[in-house]
Amino acid sequence: MTDLYRLLPEEMEEMIIELGQPRYRADQILYALYYKFPKSISEIKQLPSIFRETLVEKGFAIGSTKEVHRVVSKDGETTKLLLNLQDETPVESVLMQYPPKKMFGHPRSTICVSTQVGCAMGCVFCATGQMGFERNMKAEEIVGQVIHFAKILSDKKQHVTNIVFMGMGEPLANYSETIRAIQLLTHPRGFGLGQRNITISTIGIISAIDKLSEENLQVGLAISLHAPNDKLRQWLVPTAGKESVKELIDAGKRFFLKTGRRVTFEYALIKGVNDSIKIAEELALLLRNNGSHVNIIPLNPTAGELKRPSRNNVIEFERILYNSGINCTVRVEKGTEISAACGQLRTDVLSKYNNERN
């Protein structure tokens, strides 16, 4: 079976021509896929019924996701979904909404997508990292998460404004499918989202960061640093190399020089682990005059023993960086109470679901 959501517009045209159809059929299909959200080929009414039948006979289909469970935050601004893929594999995706800047404008609607089922990186503070790795997701499965939320938003006369590859898994460990998904989501004849409205978050696969800088994309890059020295980072990120801190900073510089896009270093702040004044000063010295941005993320509670820092510690950590000339912010928290925040993508529902499957 070939999922129509896998085909780039140029590939869609080639398929249409090979089937003896006029070129404009490709645009009819693409419009339906990205603006009408059909669940099956039979729902693409713009196409003649005999051609719809031909597509099915030739092994084409629409691999839509199935919603298994939905949790919404009390303020209504964060929605976490458990979605079943075509093979019944469950993954989590999150919608985070922010109030519009104008009184009658649309809210900023950011979709946090997963790229892998589970994760092999094993970060000690991340719930997904403690799940282990099951498999990579295909580009059409990544796109399918966005489409599912796009339909929900469309019903409310709203639309997707941003996408972050910060869900389950390491995007750059599933490189080719992640890039194909971005191409599908940003193609003007596809989903049509601006490249600058997409951010890839990575734990730091150096070769993949360098490769990404050569893709001629204007996506944002967020590198999970979490420590100013290698000893501490290797404890937090078991897969980190012996000199990963320097390598990541150098890779960030190369990415900026190649793309012109400023790199964000993500820093999960953990009580008694990496939130001291001494470590803040070490981080400030490391990043001084670097030109990057630091996103401070107070640890979100997971099933582990690591704890969230106090509010005073967060403010002091930010103050030290700021006074040292480091561009930094404390991340606006979304979805903590429904376990939809950064590092929390593993719900009780998902754990229960996996137990039932096994």
Q: Do the beta carbons of residue 41 and residue 4 sit within 8 Å? A: yes
Q: Do the beta carbons of residue 4 and residue 44 sit within 8 Å? A: no
Residue 130 pLDDT level (bands cut at 50, 70, 90): confident
Q: Do the beta carbons of residue 287 and residue 245 sit within 8 Å? A: no
Rounded distance between C-alpha atoms, residue 37 and residue 154, angstroms: 10
269-318 confidence digits (pLDDT tens): 999 999 999 999 999 999 998 889 999 999 876 646 889 999 999 999 99
Cα end-to-end span (Å), the chain: 26
CATH match for 2-61 among 3.30.420.40, 3.40.50.720, 1.10.150.530, 3.90.1150.10: 1.10.150.530
Place of tokens 């669940």: 39
Residue 124 pLDDT level (bands cut at 50, 70, 90): confident
Catalytic residue numbers? 92, 342
Instruction: List C-alpha distances in Å: 323 to 284, 294, 320.
Output: 9, 13, 5
Residue 336 pLDDT level (bands cut at 50, 70, 90): low
Residue 205 burial (CB count, 10 A): 20
The percent of residues in the chain predicted with pLDDT above 90, rounded, is 78
Q: What is the mean pLDDT of residues 66-89?
A: 92
Q: What is the CATH number of domain 66-357?
A: 3.20.20.70
- Record the pTM: 0.92
Q: Do the beta carbons of residue 283 and residue 252 sit within 8 Å? A: no
Q: What is the largest CA-CA distance in the chain?
A: 70
144-155 confidence digits (pLDDT tens): 999 999 999 999
Helix ranges, the chain (H): 9-18, 24-31, 49-57, 139-154, 175-186, 206-213, 230-236, 244-259, 277-287, 311-323, 348-357
248-268 confidence digits (pLDDT tens): 999 999 999 999 999 999 999
DSSP one-letter string for 53-108: HHHHHTTEE----EEEEEEE-TTS-EEEEEEE-TTS-EEEEEEEEE--SSTTSPPE
Give the HSE-up count for residue 80: Cα atoms under 13 Å, Cβ half-sphere.
Answer: 25
Q: Do the beta carbons of residue 23 and residue 13 sit within 8 Å? A: yes
Rounded distance between C-alpha atoms, residue 41 and residue 198, angstroms: 29
Rounded distance between C-alpha atoms, residue 78 and residue 315, angstroms: 25
Domain range summary for the chain, segments of one domain joined by +: 2-61, 66-357
DSSP helix/strand/coil, 107: coil
189-246 confidence digits (pLDDT tens): 999 999 999 999 999 999 999 999 999 999 999 999 999 999 999 999 999 999 999 9
Rounded distance between C-alpha atoms, residue 171 and residue 203, angstroms: 9
